[in-house]
Chain A
Amino acid sequence: MAVNAVIRVLTGGIKITDARTTAGETKIIHSNTSGSPVPTTIDRSGRVTSEE
């Protein structure tokens, strides 16, 4: 399925645990305060959690 949304969050204080889009997939990028990506995990239900 095509990516129809890309969301980036700086993990200094908040995280995105889930994201849903009406059409297509949502790609989530967790970044640290310097903008570098940080590892994330996806559980069986599709929830995305930053490991930082």
Chain B
Amino acid sequence: MPVTSLFSLFRSRGWGRQSEAQLDVLYLGANTTTTATVAPTAPYNGMVVHLITFHRMLPGAFKVTVSQREVGVHTVQLSSDLADVSFWAWVTDADPLLVTVENRTSWPGYIGATLATINFDTLEQMRNIRSQATEEFGLSEGTLTPGPAESSARRG
């Protein structure tokens, strides 16, 4: 089952709460890489991060890598001024999402990111829903790994 329909499934079942969270790299020095460790915050204790949309950046200037212990590493060169990085990660305090942004230019840069998430009140709730989805729809671990590298797509 593709990731996109997995998200639709969660929405149709009312599993978790959909949210969008803003993460801005207001300043990033020339030829510099920064890595932010992202985790859910109160009142939530677990979340699925399934899409990051990058915007307000110079095309070709940034390379973005998202990684998480469970899903591995996913690197995308942002080649347009509005780019989606699609994947599927079950994120907790103990297993956070690492977002790395590399400014490949010789001058300081700025980049904005919007994380699309499905939030869960408790870890137990997230575990139960994950288990139910896996059992009911035959999801294998492989379907929960990042999408293809070409997931960076121009929009708008």
Footprint of B on A, CB under 8 Å?
3-24, 26, 28-29, 50, 52
> B32, A13: Cβ atoms under 8 Å?
no
B19: contacting residue among A12, A15, A26, CB under 8 A: A12
- Of B33-41, B64-72, B77-85, which binds chain A? B33-41
A21-B32 in contact given A6-B26, A13-B47, A52-B42 (Cβ < 8 Å):
yes
Query: Chain A binding site: helix, strand, loop or mixed by DSSP?
Result: strand
Q: Roughly how many angstroms separate A7 CA and B109 CA in the complex, as a whole number?
A: 12
Nearest to B19 among chain A residues (CB) is A13
B44: contacting residue among A4, A6, A7, A13, CB under 8 A: A13
Residues of chain B lying within 8 A (CB to CB) of residue A12: 19, 21
A17: contacting residue among B20, B22, B23, B37, CB under 8 A: B37
Number of A-B contacts (CB under 8 A): 95
Residues of chain A lying within 8 A (CB to CB) of residue B25: 5-7
Q: Roughly how many angstroms separate A19 CA and B101 CA in the complex, as a whole number?
A: 11
> B32, A24: Cβ atoms under 8 Å?
yes
Q: Is B3 an interface residue (CB 8 A)?
A: no
Nearest to B25 among chain A residues (CB) is A7
Q: Is B28 an interface residue (CB 8 A)?
A: yes
Q: Roughly how many angstroms separate A6 CA and B34 CA in the complex, as a whole number?
A: 9
